[in-house]
Structure 1
Amino acid sequence: MPNQPIQPDRANPRTPEFRPTHVVPPHGMPAWEAPDLATPTASLDPLLPVQLVERHGDWGHIRCANGWAAWVDGRHLVALPQDPPTADAAPATTADPRPLLAGVEEAVADYRSAVEELAGGGLDGESFRDRTRELRIGLVVDGESMWVYDPEEGRWLYGDGRLLATYATDRAAAGEEAGRAPARFTAPEGES
């Protein structure tokens, strides 16, 4: 059982075997260097895609897309479908990922601007928190596979270049449990 976080491979920062199996709960969660409450490591962001590597009782050893690994309370992880949705839909009925990618670029630019102001002394910590409080950014790209967070809909989408499908959600729809989204393919506005 590993006791140290796995360090990302600096020569190849992308971890080719990474396939998310879970996401962090909607309110985030603490992570530990070892399955021991006395060794806190970090806090994980809400809805961060993670891969559950192993379980040890209630503890879950997870890995992130960049190769970093830690231990979490595995009971709180939100399970994702075993495999990403398949690309069976015709191209005319698939959603265009470009608007979501543009939103990611805008959110990153807003966050970068706030960080630069904070580093330059133009913002104090509280002002920085106020300015970034509503920002929600999420993007994992692994070759042709992409997981992107849609903050307006409160959901993660999986895309393979041809379609986008809901992968996980932080909002419960009527009769559904938050975090366990059925595979729903999304189509561009005006198409069905």
Structure 2
Amino acid sequence: MMVKIKICGLKRLEDIDYANALKIDYAGFVFAESKRKVDLPLAKKLVYRLDNRIKKVGVFVNEKREVIEKVVGELGLDVIQFHGDESPEDVVGYNVEVWKALRVKDAQCLEEIKNYPVDCILLDSPHVVQCNAPYPDYTQYGGTGRSFDWTILKSVYIRLPIILAGGLNPDNVVMAIEQVRPYAVDVSSGVETDGNKDFDKMKKFVERVRNL
């Protein structure tokens, strides 16, 4: 089965035009604190312009249920992506597809996956904010531009479909897919130039995934 493609952090109308032209599978909109954050009025404009064959993913970090439900209802989101420290109880009770992101530090942290009643698990990179500290800070939630050690996954059975994120770009996505065999790949900073989506990088990323 062809690996699905999600491009996350769309925030400009031209980003939507790029996504439509490339016919990606999932478009990600970030509703958490980030340089890629969108508010609801902007998100409505973006979603209105998006090809309706592309599924809409809302990315949330430790957000209140009522806020998430409002965004899902007003935008017609297809997927909720929980990208924070949400518990298994926090991710249930929604009437759309649900993904949970885990930041992969080691094989042991993957044991958390079995606790989550979700449709897919998104594996992202940890981000060491204080590299020289005795206890590194792993609290940055995604968008780090760094990949994790994919070989960790070889020692763990994961029953859920995997969405692979973290440091992917046109140059390493083929190797990542060959090693991990994910359901989907998720890219954001890896297809940007100076903080904005770059059509040529997006095109190269999509072509390399689809030519496998």
| Alignment TM class, shorter chain as reference | under 0.3
State the TM-score, normalized to the length of structure 1.
0.27
State the TM-score, normalized to the length of structure 2.
0.25
Bigger Rg over Cα: 1
Which structure shows the higher strand fraction? 1
